Structure 1
Amino acid sequence: MPQKVRIALDAMGGDFGASVVIPGAAISLQRHPDSEFLFYGDSRLIDEQLAKYPALKKASQVTHTDVTVSAHDKPSQALRRGRKNSSMWLAIDAVKKGEADVAVSAGNTGALMAMARFHLHTMPGIDRPAIAAVWPTARGDSVVLDLGASIGGDANHLVALAVMGSAMASVLFNLDRPTVGLLNIGVEEIKGHEEIREAGERLRAMNLPQFNYIGFVEGDGIGSGAADVIVSEGFSGNIALKAAEGTARQMADFLRNAMASNWQSKLGYLFARKAFKALRDKLDPNKSNGGVLLGLKGVVVKSHGGTSAEGFAYAVDVGYETVRCDLLTKINQMMNSDGGALAQTAQEAVT
């Protein structure tokens, strides 16, 4: 039997803490019974929730700490004040020490990135990690990064993101040469900030065999699946993510209200409810929750802070699957194939 996947959870992270983290872990355990969980946080609150899930309790260990990272803490503050005692710090430290295979947190994004970099460091050639997630599109899935690990980025950073994202897409989607696009306000070469235009020029000039740079992609191109990899700096990427999630919820509300507006609509819903359920599932942001902090020498997954238990379970699933498919090793192999062409490109991009 394969070795179990050990998942460290920041039980205090996010808007709802243990009341969402523990039920979410219980849902994920049902899907992946070869998981073990290490919970870090207030043991009283954790044990109170674990009592409701005997199977999860049996597969879990609890480490108490009453120190948490606030959503309002700046990364520097989180590192300085009680950093070695917080639930987020201990979860990431477990990965560093080899006690866990992956850490998952719904807590403060900036603090999570700072602590992850401090503990795990970045891969050769990578200056700072990026939140990379699989985004459902009209033609399949795409890798989108950065979704908010850091704000801003020059041309060098965008090139490094393209390198990492293409490696991830090659592994996840089994593509020999994934297509890569830069998120921009227009597809014309003259549009966008100087950093984006410069990154586009460099990627086109490189013409690397490992991926196919197709140019700029507008915001609506993410959902349509314009490229296998969409690259953006973290500020724009996070706005795109939140806008897409908000639109999905708005569409679901519009549909629900329309179906309840009169008896004809209600009758139509009865005949088409399977189709509507499929649409609702497709639009559910919870099912796309969980972004990998790509570029680290360890696996850390960021969950949305305000997600439900079901949504958190999907973030835990992302961590489990990232470990099971040995994604980091495969990305390293991909970046160092052909004499390390991709790794060298990323190194040149950040030096």
Structure 2
Amino acid sequence: MGGDHGPSVILPGADIALERHPGTRFVLFGREADVLPELEKYPRLKAASVFHHCEVAVRMEDKPSQALRQGRYKSSMWRAIDAVKTGEADVAVSAGNTGALMAMAKFCLRTMANVERPAIACIWPTLKGESIVLDVGATIGADAQQLVDFSVMGAAMARAVLAIDRPTIGLLNIGVEEVKGQDEIREAGRLLRESPDAAMRYHGFVEGDDLGKGTVDVVVTEGFTGNVALKTAEGTVKQVASYLRASMTRTIMARLGYLLARGAFARLREKLDPRKVNGGVFLGLNGIVIKSHGGSDAEGTAAAFDIAHAMATADLLNTIGRDLESFNSGLTAHEPAAGSAAESA
């Protein structure tokens, strides 16, 4: 029911994903009058789906507290998340209100053991392919241990989605030198650098331009900075696209050049469109929740379902749990004597 278009985009997106992953089954939650007429257009999806009518749908403008108060236990968003909790579904996917989705997911699923805060991780297009960036907006601020937790969870997602055996981790900072940055970032760098964890490799600090370069497989930061970076990148893509459109229509020769190169421009647009590289994963909860971009078309929505399928088949929750336990055990074994961290600072 969420996003800019509701069932008219969610359902065709699900149908595309079903074609890619024939064994998938869908549990649909929404208003019967809105969903069922649209579902009739996709007989393959209808045959692979179970539908549950919900009177209440969280609105895009609802505050998280308002959504919890009015939609707990009965809204389509809540019931989709609860389906993960009860085991009826492996993953919940929504294009709805991000704040409400995070609030409901945290309330319903709770955080995993050894995780203080959840994070939203997204797939970021780079010059080398794709990387994982987190947190892009779940929580504001993070201490050193939380940044380490994000690193472990991001590495697990990189192995599941990007098929990288031992991902490289970078902490987003104002410089690559170890003396730069806030105390929390420098301490997180120390913990990652001294860890013997075999599931990932710590690269060091990275800067904003490294996001697009693909310097590392996983970029870790706190939610405020991550969200600003994400929105800045989306805005820059729109700005560049606007410049290109203006340039390509300025003269007759420019228009001719555009016609000759329109295939290349289409591929560029596809690569950079944030609605196509779609699906923010809520990591650190006792269940997997995917946030789809509210403005995505059917193909972009299918990309969110692709990520959901990868998360479920990779057994991500158990992988994160094992990795966190292993990392923290190794960290305890190699922890320096009391006072040494302060002395080195």
Q: Normalising by structure 2, report the TM-score.
A: 0.87
CA deviations 1:275-311 (Å, max 9, x no partner) are: 2232222112222110111122322111122333332
Q: 1:322, 1:343 → 2: CA distance? A: 25
RMSD between superposed Cα atoms in Å: 2.6
Q: 2:188, 2:316 → 1: CA distance? A: 26
Q: 1:35, 1:218 → 2: CA distance? A: 39
Match of 1:319 among 308, 323, 326: 308
| Structure 2 residue aligned with 1:248 | 237
Q: How far is the alpha carbon of 1:97 from its aligned partner?
A: 1.4
Confirm or deny: 8 A CA contact 2:170 2:220 kept in the other structure.
Answer: yes
Match of 1:15 among 4, 20, 29: 4
SS of 1:167's equivalent?
helix
Confirm or deny: 8 A CA contact 1:93 1:119 kept in the other structure.
Answer: yes
Q: How far is the alpha carbon of 1:176 from its aligned partner?
A: 4.6
Which amino acid is 2:267 matched to?
A: A
Q: Normalising by structure 1, report the TM-score.
A: 0.85
Match of 2:252 among 241, 256, 263: 263
Q: How far is the alpha carbon of 1:145 from its aligned partner?
A: 0.7
Q: How far is the alpha carbon of 1:342 from its aligned partner?
A: 4.7
Moved more, 106-115 or 283-292: 106-115
SS of 2:3's equivalent?
coil
| Structure 2 residue aligned with 1:298 | 287
* Aligned pairs (5 A) from 1:204-243: 204-206=193-195, 208-243=197-232
Q: How far is the alpha carbon of 1:86 from its aligned partner?
A: 0.8
Q: How far is the alpha carbon of 1:90 from its aligned partner?
A: 0.3
CA deviations 1:4-61 (Å, max 9, x no partner) are: xxxxxxxx22233223322322332333333222221111011232233333233222
1:110 equivalenced with 2:110 (yes/no): no
Moved more, 33-42 or 191-200: 191-200
Which amino acid is 1:30 matched to?
A: E
CA deviations 1:56-81 (Å, max 9, x no partner) are: 23322221112122334443443333
1:130 equivalenced with 2:116 (yes/no): no
1:160 equivalenced with 2:149 (yes/no): yes
Which amino acid is 2:74 matched to?
A: N
Q: 2:116, 2:331 → 1: CA distance? A: 12
1:179 equivalenced with 2:165 (yes/no): no
Q: 2:42, 2:200 → 1: CA distance? A: 46
SS of 2:25's equivalent?
strand
Q: 1:87, 1:343 → 2: CA distance? A: 40
Confirm or deny: 8 A CA contact 1:165 1:229 kept in the other structure.
Answer: yes
| Structure 1 residue aligned with 2:327 | 341
Deviation above 6 Å: which 4+ runs of structure 1? none
Q: How far is the alpha carbon of 1:132 from its aligned partner?
A: 1.4
Match of 2:50 among 37, 55, 61: 61
Task: Quickly say closer, same or farther: Cα 1:202–1:131, change in 2 above 3 A.
Answer: same
1:192 equivalenced with 2:181 (yes/no): yes
Moved more, 238-247 or 322-331: 322-331
Question: Across the two proteins, how many residue pairs are aligned to each other?
Answer: 334
Q: 2:204, 2:180 → 1: CA distance? A: 12
Q: How far is the alpha carbon of 1:319 from its aligned partner?
A: 0.8
Q: 2:314, 2:191 → 1: CA distance? A: 32
Q: How far is the alpha carbon of 1:273 from its aligned partner?
A: 3.2
Q: 1:160, 1:330 → 2: CA distance? A: 13
Task: Quickly say closer, same or farther: Cα 1:285–1:177, change in 2 above 3 A.
Answer: same
Q: 2:39, 2:245 → 1: CA distance? A: 35
Q: How far is the alpha carbon of 1:219 from its aligned partner?
A: 1.2
Confirm or deny: 8 A CA contact 1:289 1:314 kept in the other structure.
Answer: yes
The sequence identity of aligned pairs, in percent, is 57
Q: 2:219, 2:154 → 1: CA distance? A: 8
CA deviations 1:233-281 (Å, max 9, x no partner) are: 1111112112112222222332233223222223323433332232222
1:94 equivalenced with 2:83 (yes/no): yes
Q: 2:266, 2:49 → 1: CA distance? A: 34
Unpaired runs of at least 5, structure 2: 336-345
Q: How far is the alpha carbon of 1:174 from its aligned partner?
A: 4.4
Moved more, 239-248 or 66-75: 66-75
Which amino acid is 2:235 matched to?
A: G
Which amino acid is 1:341 matched to?
A: F
1:51 equivalenced with 2:40 (yes/no): yes
